[in-house]
């Protein structure tokens, strides 16, 4: 199917489903101990000049397709201390080239996204959650549900929370059984509201992947860090850092990452906000010296942090960012971001939002990766439906010229979500 046909098919499909909120706006099933909900999300994506970035797409430079995701949620409380939650999910990709369908974020599948039981211990601050569940912490730079994905992310895990008025502590453990080798992920994550203007979080995380290290060996990774954030009058701010130690195959690991942002929202009708941000993550200056210095940002939600084209992640990177946003209407938000990308270590290469290496490194290459401009419009029609329109431009710089091809890429998205 030609690009033009796929493009118009995708737009037509999306237009038809834009009416979907009408189907759900008045639907509500609610009994005393049974709650039923659902979500239908449809997104049209258009990618232009992507082949030079993704080797598996060498013959598909431009692509347009539609992603459909449907979720049904069932929540039951047989007794006050027990809650059951079930969330099956169906995801489907339409009108995409066969050579590009098999990616980890657009799997055609009927699956169980979440299925867990909550146990509340009466008259204590204890809550236990056991089963398949989403894990979301902080601003999801290290642990998130990656909701932009057509599949999303959930964990088979057990979690214990100690909850008080101004602070909580989570202890969790998760596992993935695989034919090649199992993966285990867990840790302790705490949150405290120190002041009306300041909250703090600290964490200690462990990732063990039996075949995820160098040379197919085991990966054992300890991640320690803190996260401070809050608001002071019209100012908002955040500071986060993380350190990693461990082993990858026969190599030792020492890596770090940081995030800093500040913003100011003007007290006028359209609420304009101006923000500045800086992200840094260590890279490996010599991949062959037996020491791994590339930061691993674990299981993040990266899409809204390092550019919507998703060509850059929180690994081996310097990333200054400028942001501007306004709210012309209470239900409409317009956002504009500008990113600059530089490699920490050119020898380590460029890593995309998924964590995979996008372009192999070269010690003699330039550090200058490129620029990205993102525009996003969000419209909340009512409590049951919202719409999103986005356009992004990624302009390559000298690093791509030094290591191969690189074009100016364009990314369009049109999304509607209906829920009940």
Cα–Cα distance measured from residue 206 to residue 187, given in angstroms and rounded to the nearest whole number = 6
Question: Model's pTM, two decimal places?
Answer: 0.88
Predicted pLDDT of residue 33:
86
CA-based nearest residue to 283, from 251, 242, 254, 320: 254
Identify which has the larger pLDDT, 251 or 3: 251
User: For residue 128, with 0-12 CB atoms within 10 Å meaning exposed, 13-18 middle and 19 or more buried, which class applies?
Assistant: middle
Between residues 193 and 177, which one has the greater pLDDT? 193
Q: How far apart are CA 336 and CA 319, in angstroms?
A: 16
pLDDT in tens, 236-262: 999 999 999 999 999 999 999 999 999
Strand-pairing partners, residue 41, are 69, 417
- The DSSP call for residue 93 is E
Q: Regarding beta strands 251-265 and 291-292, do their DSSP bridges make them parallel or antiparallel, or are they unpaired?
A: parallel
In sequence order, which residues have a C-beta less than 8 Å from that of residue 161 and are 6 or more positions away? 126, 127, 128, 129, 168, 169, 170
Residue 14 confidence (pLDDT) = 46
397, 368 in Cβ contact below 8 A? yes
For the segment 256-311, what is each residue's pLDDT rounded down to a tens digit? 999 999 999 999 999 999 999 999 999 999 988 889 999 999 999 999 999 999 99
> What's 3-419's CATH class?
mainly beta
Q: With 90 as the cut, is the pLDDT of residue 21 above it?
A: no
Chain mean pLDDT for the chain: 89
Structure tokens at 33: 């101990």
Token digits of residue 59: 């013959």
C-beta neighbour count of 154 within 10 angstroms: 22
pLDDT digits (tens, 9 = 90+) for 28-48: 444 568 999 999 999 999 999
**Percent of the chain's residues with pLDDT above 90:** 75
User: For the segment 303-339, what is each residue's pLDDT rounded down to a tens digit?
Assistant: 999 999 999 999 999 999 999 999 999 999 999 999 9
């Amino acid at each position: 199917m030609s690009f033009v046909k796929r493009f118009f098919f995708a737009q037509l499909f999306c237009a038809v489903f834009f009416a979907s909120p009408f189907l759900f706006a008045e639907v509500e099933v609610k009994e005393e101990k049974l709650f039923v909900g659902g979500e239908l999300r449809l997104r049209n994506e258009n990618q232009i000049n992507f082949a030079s970035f993704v080797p598996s797409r060498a013959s598909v430079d431009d692509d347009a397709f539609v992603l459909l995701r449907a979720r049904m949620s069932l929540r039951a409380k047989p007794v006050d201390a027990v809650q059951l939650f079930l969330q099956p999910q169906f995801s489907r990709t339409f009108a995409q080239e066969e050579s590009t369908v098999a990616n980890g974020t657009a799997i055609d599948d009927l699956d169980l996204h979440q299925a867990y039981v909550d146990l509340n211990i009466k008259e204590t601050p204890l809550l236990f959650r056991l089963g398949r569940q989403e894990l979301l912490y902080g601003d999801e730079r290290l642990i998130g549900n990656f909701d932009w994905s057509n599949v999303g992310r959930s964990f088979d895990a057990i979690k214990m929370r100690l909850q008080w008025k101004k602070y909580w502590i989570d202890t969790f453990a998760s596992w993935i059984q695989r034919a090649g080798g199992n993966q285990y992920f867990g840790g302790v994550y705490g949150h405290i509201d120190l002041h009306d203007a300041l909250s703090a979080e600290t964490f200690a995380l462990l990732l063990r992947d039996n075949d995820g290290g160098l040379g197919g060996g085991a990966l054992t990774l300890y991640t320690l860090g803190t996260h401070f954030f809050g608001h002071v009058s019209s100012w908002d701010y955040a500071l986060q850092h993380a350190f990693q130690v461990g082993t990858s195959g026969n190599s030792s690991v020492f890596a770090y990452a940081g995030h800093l942002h500040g913003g100011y929202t003007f007290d006028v009708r359209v609420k304009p906000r101006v923000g500045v941000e800086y992200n840094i993550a260590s890279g490996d200056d010599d991949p062959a010296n037996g020491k791994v210095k590339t930061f691993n940002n674990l299981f993040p939600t990266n899409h809204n942090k390092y550019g919507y084209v998703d060509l850059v992640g929180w690994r081996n990177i310097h990333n200054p960012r400028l942001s501007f946003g306004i709210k012309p209407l209470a239900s409409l938000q317009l956002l504009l971001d500008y990113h600059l990308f530089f490699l920490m270590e050119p020898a380590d290469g460029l890593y995309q939002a998924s964590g995979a290496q996008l372009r192999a490194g070269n010690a003699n290459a330039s550090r200058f990766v490129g620029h990205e401009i993102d525009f996003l419009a969000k419209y909340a029609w009512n409590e049951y439906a919202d719409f999103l329109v986005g356009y992004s431009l990624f302009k390559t710089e000298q690093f791509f010229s030094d290591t191969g091809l690189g074009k100016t890429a364009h990314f369009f998205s049109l999304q509607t979500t209906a829920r009940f």
